[in-house]
């Protein structure tokens, strides 16, 4: 009797887990650069192309000359601006991950008043190069 209750709980947990995975919606893939050219040639509105890019969360790392080529092929300036913004925003996010704010984690972390700044580990910790705030002189 006790074993069947455990089996029921396990079966219920498994069913909930699998139903959660099955109900996750998939987003459409972002259009490639070639597809953007085809959509432009087909006469699709720039706002519709940008919406497809947003839904697919496309990232377009294009150089200035590649953007100029796309503009010469007839791709709308709004679409080109969006393609460039996706890359710029991704680079900004990457830099924020590389160099987090010194005030992000609170006491004891990072630089600035909460962490290991030029005076050691703050007022509550040992100082790595001496007992005082100014080094081995111990003021």
Q: Work out how many domains the chain is built from and give that number.
A: 1
Q: How far from 107 is each of 60, 116, 123, CA to CA, in Å? A: 39, 10, 10
Domain-embedded: residue 94? yes
Give the phi and the psi of residue 9 in degrees, each rounded to 5.
Answer: -65, -40
Confidence of residue 100 (pLDDT cuts 50, 70, 90): low
| pTM of the model as a whole | 0.57
Question: Rounded CA gap, 67 and 77, in Å?
Answer: 9
Residue 139, domain member (yes or no): no
For residue 27, is it within any domain?
Answer: no
Is 61 a domain residue? yes
Q: Quick check: helix, strand or coil at residue 94?
A: helix
Q: Domain residues for 57?
A: 33-98
pLDDT, averaged across the chain: 76
- Residues 8-24: pLDDT tens digits? 887 777 777 776 655 56
CB-CB contact of 52 with 31 (8 Å): yes
- Is 38 contained in some domain? yes
Is the residue at 28 inside a domain?
no
Q: Percent of the chain at pLDDT above 70?
A: 64
Q: Is 8 among the domain residues?
A: no
- As a whole number of angstroms, the distance between CA 81 and CA 72 comes to 14
Task: Tell me the average pLDDT across 41-46.
Answer: 95
User: Given this model, what pLDDT does residue 136 score?
Assistant: 52
Q: Is residue 25 part of a domain?
A: no
């Amino acid at each position: 009797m006790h074993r069947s209750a455990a089996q029921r709980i396990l079966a219920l947990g498994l069913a909930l887990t699998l139903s959660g995975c099955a109900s996750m919606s998939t987003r459409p893939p972002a259009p490639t650069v070639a597809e953007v050219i085809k959509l432009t040639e087909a006469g699709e509105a720039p706002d519709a192309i940008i919406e497809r890019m947003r839904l697919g969360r496309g990232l377009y790392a294009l150089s200035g000359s590649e953007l100029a080529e796309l503009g010469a092929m007839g791709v709308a300036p709004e679409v080109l601006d969006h393609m460039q913004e996706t890359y710029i925003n991704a680079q900004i996010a990457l830099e924020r991950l590389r160099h987090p704010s010194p005030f992000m984690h609170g006491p004891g972390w990072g630089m600035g008043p909460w962490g290991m700044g030029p005076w050691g580990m703050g007022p509550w910790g040992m100082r790595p190069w001496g007992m005082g705030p100014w080094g081995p002189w111990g003021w």
